[in-house]
Amino acid sequence: MRGQKGHEVIYCSGKDRRMTLNQLAYFQAVARTENFRAAAEELYISQPSLSRSIDALEKELGVTLFERTGRGIALTKSGRLFLEYVNRILEECDIAVYKMKELSSSGGRIDIGYVFPLANYYIPHKVRTFLDLPENEHTTFGFTQNRTSHIIREIKKGLIDVGFCAYAEGEEELEFAPVLRQEMVIIAPHDHPLADRDEVSVKVLEDYPVIGYDRFSGLGGYTNRLYRNLGIKPEIVCECADENAIQAMVRENFGIALVAGVDVLNEDEIKILKLSDADLTHYVNMVWLKNHYQMPAVKRFIDYMKESADMDAEHI
């Protein structure tokens, strides 16, 4: 960027203003060497061109930046003050260029959002294995946990790069890809009449009080659609945000529940029962904006998650 003829970049513009980054770099070099000839050689430009550039800069600023001192030159008081600002400006430019180059290669920050059940194992494990790849050593992550509707809003606003949540109908601007299969199971207290079985009919949900998911969550919508499709009408006594909360209510004998068989379920606290007459599966989707620029690191992460999805198909 600095000292290359024909590659001037406007630093500030407006009526009668045409200051360039090249001029600032020229000024910095002259101030450091205190010699026009030495600065011109360092910058690979002719001494007359350098002198004209500094003269134009002084004319624009309305101050004298250098004064003659015998055979050499020295900064004036105004020049010393201006140099402080120039040093900061050019340093910030160097940092900006470095950061952009970092983003274009292996670096950058990936902001992801995910539903609460994925926080215990799935997301930490997948991010860790992604970062362990040599090409991702300079990548960092930002993490957000929330329900599906919030995650989708944040993606559409550009605040999250990639989300992990339930599928949402009618979101034409988003791309969804299933990455995790979750078998649906029924959980019950250890002292419940069902606790001596290993599997049960889905119809038992009509025989006992049921703890449901929050109806506005992805799994809440999914289970309510299942109930309608299966023609069953469970008695929902309360709704909870996630499996942790549902498991706690079941453990305390508030009822049984149909839940995704996630890794937070603890068989020391509740009985996990497979379904004998229904193969119910919920899929966690990875979601991102269609036709939207992605940093190389984000694209690598999406590709990595797609490639590893098959390996996770049986992870419950």
Q: What is the pLDDT of residues 107-148, one digit of tens each?
A: 688 999 999 889 988 999 999 999 999 999 889 999 999 989
Q: What is the pLDDT of residues 236-267, one digit of tens each?
A: 999 998 899 999 999 999 999 999 998 889 99
pTM of the model: 0.65
Q: What is the pLDDT of residues 174-184, one digit of tens each?
A: 999 999 999 99
pLDDT at 270 over 50: yes
pLDDT at 103 over 80: no
pLDDT at 205 over 80: yes
pLDDT band at 285 (very low <50, low <70, confident <90, very high): very high
Which pLDDT value is given to residue 72?
82
pLDDT band at 2 (very low <50, low <70, confident <90, very high): very low
pLDDT band at 9 (very low <50, low <70, confident <90, very high): very low
* CA distances in angstroms from 242 to 69, 77, 219, listed in the order given: 76, 66, 9
Which pLDDT value is given to residue 310?
54
pLDDT over 70 percentage in the chain: 90
Q: What is the pLDDT of residues 73-86, one digit of tens each?
A: 999 999 999 999 99
Which pLDDT value is given to residue 99?
67
Contacts 24+ apart (CB under 8 A), 188-194: 188/250, 188/256, 188/270, 188/271, 188/273, 189/250, 189/251, 189/252, 189/253, 189/256, 189/270, 189/271, 190/269, 190/270, 190/271, 191/253, 192/253, 192/256, 192/271, 194/256, 194/271, 194/273
Which pLDDT value is given to residue 154?
94
Q: What is the pLDDT of residues 32-54, one digit of tens each?
A: 999 999 999 999 999 999 999 99
Least-confidence region, from 11-25, 159-173, 211-225: 11-25
Which pLDDT value is given to residue 3?
41
pLDDT at 292 over 90: no
**Could you tell me the domains of the chain?**
10-104 (1.10.10.10), 111-316 (3.40.190.290)
pLDDT band at 315 (very low <50, low <70, confident <90, very high): very low
pLDDT at 8 over 70: no
pLDDT band at 5 (very low <50, low <70, confident <90, very high): very low
- Assigned token pair, 17: 């203003």
Which pLDDT value is given to residue 86?
94
Give the mean model confidence (pLDDT) for residues 175-194.
95
Which pLDDT value is given to residue 293?
85
More confident residue, 120 or 275: 275
